[in-house]
Structures are given as C-alpha cells and as structure tokens.
Amino acid sequence: MKKYSYKLKIFLILVPLLLSSGCGKSIPLEVKCVQDVDGNDWSPPRILEPKCFSAVSKDMHCPIYPELRENHTAYLIDTTDGPSKQFTEKLDVLFNSEIEFISRNKPYTRISIIELNDKQSVVGFKPVGTICRPRTGTVTRWQSDQAHPSEGALAIKSDFVNKFLSPIQQAQAQLSKSTKANRTLIIEHISSLVNQPIYQFDGEDYQNRKLVILSDLLQWSDRFKLVRECKKNLKVVLVLFFL
C-alpha cells in the first residue's frame, strides 16, 4: 500500500509538468506585434501585447516594429500673434478629441505638435509634444479600437484619456498662452520638419504623412515679408509660396 501511494504522488507531480511543456509553442513577439490577436483582417490590427509599444517618453505608445508605423500627423500651430480668445477657440475646434484624435487618426498614429514661433531656432526646434495614439477601448470607426474580451475595457479607456488626451490638452493650454513673436517663419519650419530625420516626418519612418497648419499663412521673415510682397505682385507671391 505504501509503495502504491508513493507511485501515485509521483504521477500527480509529473502531470502538470507534461502539460506545461507540451501544449503548443509561444508566439514570437515579432509576430504578436504585427498580427491581429484574433487573426482578423483589420487595418490596423488589434494588438494587445504591451511590449509591442514603446514606453520611452519621446515615443510613448508608438509601435516598436516598423510594420505598424503607418501614419504620422503633424500639427503646426502659429502662435506668433500672441494669446487671444479667438485663437483659443480655434485650438478647441482643431483639437476636438472625438473628431480629430478618434475619427481622423487611426490607432498607433504618431501625433506631433509643433509651435510656430521665433522662440526657438527653426533648425533643431523641439516639438511641444509627440506621442502615438493608443486604442480607445470603445466602438469607433476603427475596429481595432474595441476592447478585447481578455482585457479590461475600463483600463483601456482610462489609459487613452489619462496617458494620451491629457498630454495633448496640456500642450494645447501651453500654446494658448504663448507670447507674441517678431517673426513668422512658416517656410523655414516646414522645411526643417520634412528634411530633418529627428522629427520622423521625412518619409523614411512612416508611410503616410499629414501636415495640419493653424495659421494665417502670412510669412514674415528678414528675407520674405508676404504682406509687403502681396502689394507688389500677388502672382509672384503665390508661385513662391506653393512651390
């Protein structure tokens, strides 16, 4: 009887070991991070693995694998006229979370907010903020936004509000209080944005780029003053500006 009992104990110990070692292989991270969790043909796919996204501040929530780096939206905000009620209202309309950051921008899209002012050099200027749009955990036009049965919908929603929308709202508040500038360097800012790799807007890092400009588009620099040139020759100005 003692011998039988001894064998039974050994058998019970070995069963979980066999189950844990023989039931399928784990999915590699490079696969988890680019394929939909349920195999759906969704664009973009629904990715649940936290390790698939950066936790570094300058790349917060951004996919670590290039296959998901599809879209980059940059907002160039002209604050050269200084704070005003009208400017604040325009910012509120532009940065409407439901329209701009849920409907118009897909999950995983990089969002960059750049202040157009003369406080910084146009060469190597630092964006007000750059962050990638996480999933909302709600029903939107993007199927991958929906919370998966295996994850907590409330946690996903909370992270979207607190870790994505909140930093954008802070950037918006900063822009609305920005002081008046002496120059409006629109052409120079755009040139730096699209030509310097540091901003990831040169076409190498993201497949699609969208530039949203909030400005009266009146260039005012030492070499080119649009208001003055308009009085001289409107046709010449239009050619110079849209080339």
- What is the structure's pLDDT at 19? 34
| Residue 4 confidence (pLDDT) above 50 | no
Q: Which of 39-43, 201-205, 220-224 has the lowest mean pLDDT?
A: 220-224
> Is 162 a member of any domain?
yes
Answer yes or no: is 124 within a domain: yes
Q: Judge whether 13 lies within some domain.
A: no
Indicate if the pLDDT at residue 122 is higher than 70. yes
Would the pLDDT of 134 be above 70?
yes
What is the count of structural domains for the chain? Answer: 1
> Among positive and negative, which fits the CA dihedral 151, 153, 158, 161?
positive
Q: With respect to residue 19, please indicate whether it lies within any of the assigned structural domains.
A: no
Average pLDDT, the chain: 86
Give the pLDDT mean for 185-194.
Answer: 95
Which domain covers residue 195, as residue numbers?
Answer: 34-217
β 71-78/110-116 pair status: parallel
Q: How far apart are CA 52 and CA 48, in angstroms?
A: 8
Spatial CA neighbour of 178 closest among 95, 112, 100, 120: 120
Does residue 168 sit within a domain? Answer: yes
Is 243 inside any structural domain? no
Say if 4 falls within a structural domain.
no
Domain membership flag for residue 24: no
DSSP character string of 176-240: HTPPP-S-B-HHHHHHHHHH-GGGS-SSSS-SEEEEEEES----B-SS-BHHHHHHH-HHHHHHH
